[in-house]
Amino acid sequence: RLMEFLPVFLNIRDRKCVIVGGGEVAVRKARLLSRAEAKLHIIAPQLNTEMQSLCKAQAAIVTIGAFEPSQLAGAVLAIAATDDIKTNIAVSVAAKEYNIPVNVVDEPKYCTFITPAVVDRSP
């Protein structure tokens, strides 16, 4: 049986990972990447309170404004987590041009990788 996606684990420790979006979904993805000790780069017109706190705690690099493809330079992965499909598609297209793995939340047709649900059984 063929698989649509190959299950792999990436070492992103101290590597630039871009998240486009500043809301609840982006916060969830930022938390996930933080657990792997990624260098977070957050791009969004505005950040919700939770994202602001997370960015401060994780010393994330924050760009307030619209996404620009050049912001992906040097990234090892990108996640589009906005509520604007045009922006999400733009992130996907740009990431693919840079050969950067990209995840567009809840839109697998625009993804080159997906993230599974993570069950944390630690005490």
Cα 26-61-108 angle, rounded to 5 deg: 30
Token representation of residue 9: 């684990």
CA distance 119 to 32: 11
pLDDT tens-digit profile of 72-102?
999 999 999 999 999 999 999 999 999 999 9
CA distance 78 to 76: 7
Terminal C-alpha separation, the chain: 37
Quickly state the pLDDT bin for 118 (edges 50, 70, 90): low
Residue 31, pLDDT > 90, answer yes
* Contact predicate 16/74, CB 8 Å: yes
pLDDT of 5: 86
Domains of the chain, earliest start first? 16-110 (3.40.50.720)
This prediction has a pTM of 0.93
